Amino acid sequence: MSLTGFGASAPRKEDPALLRGEGQFVDDIHFPAMLHAAFVRSPHAHASIGRIDKSAALALPGVHAVFAFADLPEPVRRQTLPLLVPHPSLRAPRMPYALAKDEVCYAGEPVACVVADSRYIAEDAADRVEVAYEPLPAVNDCRAALAPGTTTAHAEADSNVAARFPVQVGDADRAFAGAAHVFRERIYQHRGGPFFMECRGAVARYEKPTDAYTLFVSSQGSHRLKRCLLDMFDLGDHQVRVVTPDVGGGFGPKGSFYPEYVNLAFAARVLDRPVKWIEDRRENFLATHQERDQYWDMEIAVDRDGHILGLRGELIHETGAYVPWGIVLPWIAATTVPGPYVIPSFKLDVVSVYTNKIQTTPVRGAGRPEAVVTMERLMDRVARELELDPAEVRRRNFIRPEQMPYNVGIIFRDGRPVTYDSGDYPACQAAALEASGYDGFRQRQAQARSLGRHIGIGIANAVEATGLGPYESATVRISTSGKIVVYTGATPQGQSHKTTLGQIAAEQFGVGLDDVTVVTGDTAAISLGIGTFAARTAANAGPSVHLAGLEVALKAKTIAAGMMECLLEDLELADGYVRLKSAPDVRKSLREIAVRSVGMPGFSMAGELEPGLEHTAHFTPAQSAYSNGTHVAEVEVDIETGAVLILRYTVAHDCGRVINPMVVDGQVIGGVAHGIGNALFERLVYDDQAQLLTGTFADYLLPLATDVPRIDLVHLETPSPLNPLGIKGAGEGGTIPAIAAIVSAVENALAPFGVRIAEAPVTPQRIVELLGSHALGRTR
């Protein structure tokens, strides 16, 4: 194995520029004569809009334009933003217009766009735009929103139900009727957000000579954004190019299409100047998609020995004001519940509900963390009631490796049955327990308790659908200069695509990583692409690079065989040459071969070959590849302050074959940190009129270096049979079980006080509340 090829912890190609401050994030892009946009946003969570008076704003020197809905061009006024994932159960899907038309449905919804010489002036002017709002009652809570005859989040709607659908396996009611034990849990997961460090932003340009727009945008999927813009403006393929430069984190919501982008493109054309908008953090709290509001009411039926017979219940999912991603979140959540366990029967009624808050769309984990919290809380309940060790209850219910591939019996969001392709769940848990010192924990706990310290341990298992289809594209091209370039529609936000995809290509050509350039997220470079989200890039773009590379390598050898008058099988690729295996000095450079491949003017192409040393592959997986993992958290709770200290954190993780172990470790550890935030701190609090109360990083707390412990990692590798490289996704596996493991550990620490936890986050304040009179501060 080379030091930089597949399987090696190659140093990242991305790093030098980023470390020198030479990264090119969207706000680092500057064009001559560029203007700056700011948005007028609704202060009300729900209101109708009357007259908009722009005169004071337009009178300010340096202001070029103020646009409201009525100023937008016809195709943009005609339609709402596109619904990315329609579904038959979405009977009346609500989507926003590019600017609010006559009603605003969340605080922060854009109402007007101001363009000025600088952002400072644009903000001054935005304050001077007078909008006549008529406030309407706001819907704050998705459970209350289901009551008959209640206020609706959209004035004209007859209910707040966005969609209702069932998920069903076997005959749950019969299983419950015959069960030795039935336990019920009500479980809540509260809203958090992506909170990437770089807020959203874009620069739009319009070029008259080609009648075409270019949008530079901080995104997770350039091609999808391009398609949305084509739809909004009713344009031909040649009229929009979307380029994604360096992206400062995405975590899901940078994969959405937002109204601001439409306004920028329009403004750039009307004003004939480039226009930039960079979201500020206040806007980010109000207007970037969030996730995790779910309420589960679940029952589990088990036999005398704790074997699961069935699950049934209801999931209420809050979609917020609109449904850009349709029902993918509650669907993913519902289909993730069974996890690594044999669940003979399962019945879930799912309802997705509108409220007057910013919409919920996938955030790292995308519905899976909620599902895992639900399932693992039920497992802990069974363990407690049956007086079994929590690890033992899980062991008794695992799908065994010999049962793989395992059909869970439900249909996933990709339209295919949930069928786990490979994995060894018992081995994974065993590895995590061993690495975490689980066997010695009860002794540690007893000792700590004798000293008045409250420590606890929690286990969580998760199976994650990764590598979601439909495909990801890659072109491998060797230019006539001999340089190897890989183009892909995958659009990274820190996941190291330029390194890992480069490693796969370098392997094909026997060259070093420095000899391969990877171009990501530019719709002018490759015609098709989906983007980077849902832990899908390595498992889709990876095989595409591999397959395209194989084709190009074969073509290079075929051309060289003709040039060298030898047999194909006598040749090999190494160091930028095709050479004779028997006499390495006899060789042709990739440059010579590439020049030959494009032909000479007026001469016929040699042989039967298509011109050009390039190939495009769109690897299309048959279904999702399923990663899995076990997390074990050991915590100490200060019962006076409610503070939780994570003493030890262990992950056993299986994402199939690993391209770059350093990168995968980084993804997993970073994901755990996100889970720690969701478990202990991150909560977006709204008042009863759906006004956000936690709109700064001083109120909404992200985990700090002092909150995240050193993570112990164990890797297992069961290759996926679904792609030629055996890869499964790794981008979210760190987050998904973390919340469940930590909540479980906190509850375990507080067991002597009878504290039961069925929610996340469980903040210090909440822990003190749950402890009630047990909290030391109150009893002294």
Please pick, from the candidates 515, 665, 747, 759, the single residue that binds other proteins as defined by CB under 8 A.
Answer: 665
Measured between alpha carbons, how far is 546 from 715 in angstroms, rounded to an integer?
23
Distances (CA, A) of 113 to 9, 119, 554, 610: 46, 12, 53, 50
Measured between alpha carbons, how far is 497 from 304 in angstroms, rounded to an integer?
50
Task: Tell whether residue 436 is a contact of other proteins (CB under 8 A).
Answer: no
Task: Tell whether residue 33 is a contact of other proteins (CB under 8 A).
Answer: no
Q: Which of residues 1-20 bind other proteins (CB under 8 A)?
A: 11-12, 14-16, 18-20
Please pick, from the candidates 662, 689, 751, 756, the single residue that binds other proteins as defined by CB under 8 A.
Answer: 662
Of 193-201, 321-329, 339-347, 539-547: span binding other proteins (CB under 8 A)? 193-201
Measured between alpha carbons, how far is 623 from 587 in angstroms, rounded to an integer?
42
Measured between alpha carbons, how far is 149 from 680 in angstroms, rounded to an integer?
36
Task: Tell whether residue 280 is a contact of other proteins (CB under 8 A).
Answer: yes
Task: Tell whether residue 764 is a contact of other proteins (CB under 8 A).
Answer: no
Beta carbon nearer to other proteins, 520 or 624: 520
Beta carbon nearer to other proteins, 3 or 120: 120
Task: Tell whether residue 600 is a contact of other proteins (CB under 8 A).
Answer: no
Task: Tell whether residue 729 is a contact of other proteins (CB under 8 A).
Answer: no
Please count the other Cβ atoms lying within 10 Å of the Cβ belonging to residue 765.
11
- 3-state SS of 336-377 is HCCCCECCCCEEEEEEEEECCCCCECCCCCCCHHHHHHHHHH
Beta carbon nearer to other proteins, 498 or 555: 498
Please pick, from the candidates 67, 195, 425, 441, the single residue that binds other proteins as defined by CB under 8 A.
Answer: 195
Of 352-360, 469-477, 635-643, 700-708: span binding other proteins (CB under 8 A)? 700-708
What's the CA dihedral at 522, 523, 529, 535 to 10 degrees? 30
Smallest gap from Cβ 36 to other proteins, in A, equals: 10
Residue count (the chain): 780
Please count the other Cβ atoms lying within 10 Å of the Cβ belonging to residue 182.
15
Beta carbon nearer to other proteins, 9 or 479: 9
Task: Tell whether residue 736 is a contact of other proteins (CB under 8 A).
Answer: no
Task: Tell whether residue 493 is a contact of other proteins (CB under 8 A).
Answer: yes
Closest CA to 322 of 290, 344, 300: 290
Indicate the burial class of 92 (C-beta count within 10 angstroms; 0-12, 13-18, 19 or more): middle
What contacts 132, CB < 8 A, 6 or more positions away? 49, 50, 51, 52, 53
What is the token pair recorded at 204?
A: 């739009």
Task: Tell whether residue 362 is a contact of other proteins (CB under 8 A).
Answer: no
Please pick, from the candidates 672, 749, 755, 757, the single residue that binds other proteins as defined by CB under 8 A.
Answer: 672
Task: Tell whether residue 634 is a contact of other proteins (CB under 8 A).
Answer: no
Contact 125, 60 (CB under 8 A): yes
Task: Tell whether residue 34 is a contact of other proteins (CB under 8 A).
Answer: no
Collapsing DSSP to helix, strand or coil, 669 comes out as helix
Of 231-239, 489-497, 523-531, 541-549: span binding other proteins (CB under 8 A)? 489-497
Please pick, from the candidates 67, 106, 196, 206, the single residue that binds other proteins as defined by CB under 8 A.
Answer: 196
Task: Tell whether residue 157 is a contact of other proteins (CB under 8 A).
Answer: no
Please pick, from the candidates 249, 259, 340, 390, the single residue that binds other proteins as defined by CB under 8 A.
Answer: 249
Please count the other Cβ atoms lying within 10 Å of the Cβ belonging to residue 575.
14
Task: Tell whether residue 251 is a contact of other proteins (CB under 8 A).
Answer: yes
Beta carbon nearer to other proteins, 536 or 615: 536
Smallest gap from Cβ 197 to other proteins, in A, equals: 4
Task: Tell whether residue 32 is a contact of other proteins (CB under 8 A).
Answer: no
Whether residue 470 has a cis bond before it, omega within 30° of 0: yes
Beta carbon nearer to other proteins, 27 or 109: 27
Smallest gap from Cβ 366 to other proteins, in A, equals: 16
Of 220-228, 584-592, 672-680, 765-773: span binding other proteins (CB under 8 A)? 672-680
Contact 354, 321 (CB under 8 A): yes
String of DSSP letters for 549-563 = HHHHHHHHHHHHHHH
Smallest gap from Cβ 282 to other proteins, in A, equals: 8
Whether residue 405 has a cis bond before it, omega within 30° of 0: yes
- φ/ψ region of 539 (left if φ > 0, alpha if ψ in -120 to 50, else beta) reads alpha
Residues that bind other proteins (CB under 8 A): 11-12, 14-16, 18-23, 25, 27-28, 30, 120, 194-199, 246-249, 251, 278, 280-282, 493-496, 662-663, 665-667, 669-674, 696-698, 702, 704-706, 708, 710-711, 734
